Amino acid sequence: MNWLSIGLIGAIVFTLHAFQQIKMTLKDKGHHVDLMSGWLEDYRKFKQLTRDEPDELTRHKYQRVLNGLYLALAGLVFIPLLMIMGK
């Protein structure tokens, strides 16, 4: 197992963690969430929730979750590309 494989596993874990945080937050706010489906719809609801949040501290917390998701998704794209190009 090389470093790129470890990085890919890390990106998968961080992506799942970010989606789990999004789903937990939406459920706490009273939205209906399904565990295994509706990820894109949940993302849109969470992004709207972030925009509409009046408390600045909470909005920054939500934005950190979104930024972590974006970074993890970028890793899911670029790490396999590096793996393919390297072999």
pLDDT, residue 38, reads 85
Q: Is 1 helix (H, G, I), strand (E, B) or coil?
A: coil
At 37 the pLDDT is: 85
The pLDDT tens digits for 24-36 are 999 999 999 988 8
Q: What residue spans define the domains of the chain?
A: 3-19+36-86
Burial class (CB in 10 A: 0-12, 13-18, 19+), 73: middle
